[in-house]
Amino acid sequence: MVKKRPYIIAGPCSIESKEQFADIIPYLNANKQVDLIRCGIWKPRTRPGGFEGVGEDGLKWIKDYKAQNPNVSFAVEVAQPIHIELCLKYNIDVIWIGARTSSNPFSMNELSESLKGIDIPTMIKNPPIPDVKLWIGAIERIKNVGITNIAAIHRGFFTHNNYGFRNNPLWEIPIEIKRTHPDLPLICDPSHISGNRQIVQSVSQIAMDLNFDGLMIEVHPYPEKALTDSEQQLSPAEFDNLLSNLIIRKNSNTTPIELNLLRKKIDMLDQELLAILSQRIDVSKQIALIKADNNLSVLQINRWQEVLESRLHIAKELGISLEFVQKIMEQIHTESVRVQNDILKES
Ligand code: PEP
Ligand code: MN
């Protein structure tokens, strides 16, 4: 596993039916850039009642397809020892452990036990909570039972504010894994980080810029009809487009990884800044409605004076230029007055 860079894993979030399998697998197999096909067979759903996968039937379809196409390789998510048993029975090439499972040391112990004496390539996704030790612990449990071919998959984290991502990428965590485990292949799953297909390309590019070894991307023959993760799956045409636009930079020392990491931090901070500005505008609109009801003028000069003074005081404490903060506050205040005036005009 992971013999070329970038190593491309692609496939549907879930195998849904024999027809959907036949609509997507031959395309992925024919795509020369795809190294491994991913297939969800048992689906961990956050809430009960949803589609939970086709189970063993899907493994039979894979086996039949492989009988006709011996060079194709498949990866399947496992969460219980019975899943491993069935994957071995149907000669699945690679298994992966999902985020919900890697977060549970009891489950990891059980899975490791059933992998003893078997050397099947295994990929381990990060747990949903941003705890680097929990992820490393899951990897160690698999390594300790003798699995030699291991890769880590970064699929983002659940945080208080995900800044527009389904799962916050917190790039510093996979970078830390890379620093402490330089020989462990690191794959990025931009689909589960993004949660919507519009940003899968840009997240994939960030992963390439950060020297990830590969990508795991969800591809569905007709994403809008997908039974799971419909928003984030790419159509074959979108996937082709992503691959052809992906810039693979040389793994050289010219752009230090720290520089890329810091740039990503700036990107995230700007996103945060804009989200906060938008919240501030919303509050300002609520204030305008109260002013309208009470027949108060938009500009309350004493209040503005207090706001400015208090913000300059904070700026001083934080050690940022007072001139700069004054300019920003004036811009924000001007916009606030404009927005409130618009509301008062309408009321
Ligand atoms: C998946 O790969 O479809 C999946 C369930 O992902 P995760 O474990 O990252 O949530
Ligand atoms: Mn999925």
Q: How far is CA 243 from CA 10, 180, 190, 196, in A?
A: 11, 29, 13, 17
Q: Which residues line ligand 1 (CB under 6 A)?
A: 13, 40, 44, 77, 98-99, 125, 155, 192
CB atoms within 10 A of CB 89: 11
Shortest-distance ligand to the CA of residue 191: 2
End-to-end CA distance of the chain: 65
Please report which confidence band the pLDDT of residue 253 belongs to, taking 50, 70 and 90 as the band edges: low
Residue 254's pLDDT is what?
Answer: 65
Ligand 2 centroid from CA 97, angstroms: 13
Over residues 169-195, mean pLDDT: 94
Closest ligand 1 atom to residue 38 Cα is 2
Ligand 1 centroid from CA 219, angstroms: 13
Closest ligand 1 atom to residue 40 Cα is 3
Please report which confidence band the pLDDT of residue 162 belongs to, taking 50, 70 and 90 as the band edges: confident
- The pair phi, psi for residue 141, each rounded to 5°, is -60, -40
Closest ligand 1 atom to residue 98 Cα is 8
How do residues 86-96 score in pLDDT, each as one tens digit?
Answer: 999 999 999 99
- Name the residue among 87, 52, 45, 27 with its Cα closest to residue 240: 27
Which CATH class, in words, describes the domain spanning 7-245? alpha beta
CB atoms within 10 A of CB 181: 15
Please report which confidence band the pLDDT of residue 265 belongs to, taking 50, 70 and 90 as the band edges: confident
How do residues 207-226 score in pLDDT, each as one tens digit?
Answer: 998 889 999 999 999 999 99
Ligand 1 centroid from CA 185, angstroms: 18
> Crossing angle, helix 105-115 and helix 81-89, to 10 degrees?
30
How do residues 134-157 score in pLDDT, each as one tens digit?
Answer: 999 999 999 999 999 999 999 999
Residue 264's pLDDT is what?
Answer: 83
Closest ligand 1 atom to residue 13 Cα is 3
How do residues 281-294 score in pLDDT, each as one tens digit?
Answer: 999 999 999 999 99
Rounded to two decimals, what is the model's pTM?
0.78
Residue 102's pLDDT is what?
Answer: 98
Mutate to test the pocket of ligand 1, among 187, 188, 189 (most ligand atoms within 8 A of CB): 189
Distance (Å, whole) CA 242 – CA 235? 10
Residue 44's pLDDT is what?
Answer: 86
Average pLDDT over all residues of the chain: 94
Asked if the domains 7-245 and 257-346 are classified in one and the same CATH topology, the answer is: no
Reading the block at residue 13, the tokens are 């979030």
- Name the residue among 157, 150, 191 with its Cα closest to residue 171: 157
- Name the residue among 45, 24, 147, 145 with its Cα closest to residue 96: 147
Ligand 1 centroid from CA 100, angstroms: 8
Contact 138, 97 (CB under 8 A): yes
Angle subtended at Cα 173 by Cα 168 and Cα 176, rounded to the nearest 5 degrees: 165
Residue 81's pLDDT is what?
Answer: 98
How do residues 100-130 score in pLDDT, each as one tens digit?
Answer: 999 999 999 999 999 999 999 999 999 999 9
Distance (Å, whole) CA 319 – CA 315? 6
Contact 210, 261 (CB under 8 A): yes
Contact 130, 159 (CB under 8 A): yes
The string of DSSP letters for 148-178 reads: --EEEEE--B--S--TTSSSB--THHHHHHH
Please report which confidence band the pLDDT of residue 185 belongs to, taking 50, 70 and 90 as the band edges: very high
Residue having the nearest C-alpha atom to atom 3 of ligand 1: 13
Q: How far is CA 297 from CA 282, 290, 306, 339, in A?
A: 18, 11, 17, 13
Residue 252's pLDDT is what?
Answer: 60
Q: Which CATH architecture has domain 257-346?
A: Up-down Bundle (1.20)
Domain ranges of the chain: 7-245, 257-346
